[in-house]
Each structure stands twice: as C-alpha cells, then as structure tokens.
Amino acid sequence: MIWILLVLLTVVGAAAAVGIAVNERRKQVGAGKTPKALPPASGDRLLERTVRDLRVNDVLVMDGRDFLCEGVIGYDEDGHRWSATRIVDNQDVRWLVVGLERVGSSALRLMSQDETQQIAGYPPEALVIGEVRYALDKRGTATCRLDGDVGPLGDLKKDRPSGHVERCRWWLYNAPGEDTLIVEQWGADYRVLRGKKIGEGTLELIPGS
C-alpha cells in the first residue's frame, strides 16, 4: 500500500509542476506589448503634382481646351529655380512661366512669343508695344535645362542629349494691370515673350502617362 501511495504522490506532484509552468508561460506572453505598426516612410506617400511641376506629355485644361505640354525649360539662378513650359493646342502655342520671382507674387504667366519685336542689342529700360508701356523690373543670368520640344530653341538641342543645359540671360518687364513681358537672350539671339499674369485656379492638370 505504501508504494501505491508513493506512486500517486509522484504523479500528482508532476501534474502540479506542469500546471505551474504553463501558467508562468502564459503570464510572460500576456505581459509582452503588442508591437505597433510603423508609420509609412515619407517616400511612400504619394504627392499630387500641380501646374507648378509640369512635365512633358502632361495636359493642361484651360478655358475648356486641352493644351499638351510638349517641352519644359528649367531655369536655375544661384539656387532659385523656375520653369517655362511650352503648351500647344493645334496652332496655338503658349508658354507657361512659373516661379520667376524669388519673393512676393506667385502668379503664373501665360505668354506667347512675339515675333514682331526684334531686339538686336542690349534690351532697353522700357518697351512700348501698342498702348502698353513695359518697364524693366528684374534681370539676371540662369543655367537652363531643355527637355522635350522647345520650339525654335530646338536648334540649341541639335545633336545633344535630352536634358542638356544652356546659359540664358533674361529681363523681366511689368506693366500696369496683368500685362507682363520677358526678354531672353540665347547665344546671339533674343526672343520676346509677352502675355498676362493668371491665377492657378484657371488651369487644370491632367498628368501624362
């Protein structure tokens, strides 16, 4: 009888030891904190582009018309950057200039190349076209990257890879109201862009594929 009691005590003791071990394990697991999901890296967040970041093959909707962005000139002057995008709807060719001023006005400039204005030397302090007098506001020199079809400036890209750079001197003229004018010198050639300041809300961007 004694040996039977010893066997029973041994079995009961072993079962109790196993139960205690299981309970301790459960406590350890329960005490651990559930890891929280990490926030997405900033690079994973998709940023929606605006008309201030146009690219070749984008479409701009303006006054119910679709303009294809065929070429972009990126300007850099001592770290200040702006752009001029060539937008085309059939025979209507415009240039959208964005970010030219370092400070102050953030207006966009919708411009066309004015072939009637021939500048052969250093641009004057004022230009009078029709009844509008344009006064010189700012001038400078920028390094420019040419991408896509930039129209008459395409000769500068001949036999050169896309995205190559050129130097450009520029003169910004302003007039009363929304009239604005830019003169650019590319090598020995000058071009005149003339148009008006517009609000960003007048344009809708459809990103290219």
**How do 179-186 and 126-129 pair as beta strands?**
unpaired
* Residues 6+ away with beta carbon under 8 Å from 88: 67, 68, 70, 94
Predicted pLDDT of residue 157 = 63
Domain ranges of the chain: 55-206
| Structure confidence by residue, pLDDT tens digits, 125-171 | 999 999 999 999 999 999 999 999 999 887 766 666 666 789 999 99
Instruction: Kindly state the percentage of the chain with pLDDT values over 90.
Output: 56
Binned at pLDDT 50, 70 and 90, residue 48 comes out as confident
Predicted pLDDT of residue 9 = 44
Identify the bridge partners of residue 146 per DSSP, sorted by sequence position: 73
Predicted pLDDT of residue 33 = 43
Indicate the SS3 state at residue 201. Answer: helix
| Structure confidence by residue, pLDDT tens digits, 82-122 | 999 999 999 999 999 999 987 765 679 999 999 998 898 89
Predicted pLDDT of residue 6 = 43
Shortest CA distance to 92 belongs to which of 58, 75, 67, 128?
A: 67
Which of the pair, 102 or 23, is modelled with greater confidence?
102
For residues 54 and 72, the answer to whether their CB atoms sit within 8 Å is: yes
For residues 169 and 98, the answer to whether their CB atoms sit within 8 Å is: no
Q: Containing H/E element for 167?
A: strand 165-174
Rounded CA separation 39/152 (Å) = 49
Predicted pLDDT of residue 47 = 62
Indicate the SS3 state at residue 30. Answer: helix
Q: How far is CA 131 from CA 101, 116, 128, 134, 175, in A?
A: 25, 15, 7, 10, 11
- Read off φ and ψ for residue 113, nearest 5 degrees: -75, 125
Predicted pLDDT of residue 23 = 52
Tally of CA atoms within 13 A in the half-sphere of 41 that contains its CB: 2
Instruction: Kindly state the percentage of the chain with pLDDT values over 70.
Output: 72
Binned at pLDDT 50, 70 and 90, residue 38 comes out as very low
Predicted pLDDT of residue 103 = 74
